[in-house]
Structure 1
Amino acid sequence: MKIGELARITGVPSETIRYYEKIGLLPEPDRDSSGYRSYHPGHLERLLFIKRCRNLDMAQDEIRELIRLADQPEADCRGVDALLANHLNHVRERLKELESLEHTLVQLQKACSENGTVRECGILGGLSSELESLETEDRHNHVPGTHGPGQS
C-alpha cells in the first residue's frame, strides 16, 4: 500500500509516518518501480502500535524501547513492566503538576476585580509575579534519560 492509504487507515498524517521512518521507529518501506514507498501489513501493525503508545503519552525513546523488547518475544517481560511503571510514575507526577496548575489558575481568577481596568487587573499582576516562580520549577520527564542530559 502507498503512504496515503496507510495514513488514511491509521489516521496518522503522511508527514508523521515519514518522520517515524526518519527516526527509526518505523522501518523504511521498499520502493516500487516508480520510487513510491510500498508499505506492507507489518508497517501497518507497527504504526498502530506507535499510535497507541503516543495516545498513552509515551516518549519516542519509551516507544523505541518497547519495540526493542517486543522484538524479543521469548525474553522475560520485566523490562516491559519496569518501563510501564516508570511511565505511570511520570503520569502521576504530571497529574500533581496539573492539579497545582489548576489551583494557581483558580487563585489568579479570584484576583480579578470585575469592574477594574486592565492596569488594575489582578490576573495580569499575578501572572507577572507567578512567572518568576514557574521558571525555577524542576520539570520531570517520562523515563530518566530519555529526554536529554541532566533531566530525570
Structure 2
Amino acid sequence: MSEGLLTIGALAKQAGVNVETIRYYQRRGLLDEPDKPLGGVRRYPVALAGRIRFIKRAQALGFTLEEVGLLLRLDQARACAETRELAARKLALINRKIADLASMRDALETLSHECDERSGEASCPIIQVLEQG
C-alpha cells in the first residue's frame, strides 16, 4: 500500500466509524471519493480521518449534515464571522429546545403529583390531560 494512503476499511478504523458511514458521507458530498484504479482498490489519504472526526464532532454538537457541509465550505473560505453566526443560530435553537424540555418536565412533574394525590380514583389525571389535548 502506498505510504499515507488507506483502504476504506483502514480509514474507517482510524476515524472510529464504519465503512458505511464513509460511503454515506460521500453520497452527501461531505467527502470526496477517490478514483478507483483499473482492477484496484480506492485509496484514501490518512488526513481524511481528521475530516471524518470533525464531521462526527459537529454532529455531536447538534449540527445537521447540511450544516456540517456549510461549516466545511466556510472553513475553506476562511469565513470565521459566518461560522460564528451559524454557531450562534445553533446555540439559540439548543436554548429553545432546553426551555421546551424544561417546560415538558415541569408539566409531567405536576401531572405525576396530581396522579399521586388522586390515586385510587377511576380517572387518571395524566390520561385526562392527554385526551383533552
Q: How does 1:3-152 map to 2 (within 5 A)?
A: 3-34=8-39, 36-73=41-78, 76-113=79-116, 115-116=119-120, 120-129=123-132, 132=133
In the alignment, what sits opposite 1:138?
none
Q: What is the CA–CA distance in structure 2 between the aligned matches of 1:41 and 1:9, rounded to whole Å?
A: 8
Q: Which structure would you say has the larger Rg?
A: 2
Percentage of pairs with the same residue:
35
Paired residue secondary structure (1:31): coil
Do the aligned partners of 2:115 and 2:125 also contact (CA within 8 Å) in 1?
A: yes
Do the aligned partners of 1:32 and 1:38 also contact (CA within 8 Å) in 2?
A: no
Number of equivalent positions:
127
Do the aligned partners of 2:12 and 2:49 also contact (CA within 8 Å) in 1?
A: no
Q: What are the ranges of 5 or more consecutive residues in structure 1 without an aligned counterpart?
A: 133-152
Per the normalisation by structure 2, the TM-score is 0.78
Q: Structure 1, residues 80-127: CA drift from partner, whole Å, max 9, x if none?
A: 11111111111111111111121122123223248538x633322323
Q: Structure 1, residues 49-82: CA drift from partner, whole Å, max 9, x if none?
A: 1011001011122211110011124xx4211111
Between Structure 1 and Structure 2, the one with more helix by share is: 2
Do the aligned partners of 1:30 and 1:39 also contact (CA within 8 Å) in 2?
A: no
TM-superposed CA distance for 1:4, in Å, is 2.7
Q: Which runs of 4+ in 1 moved over 3 A?
A: 32-37, 113-117
TM-superposed CA distance for 1:13, in Å, is 2.8
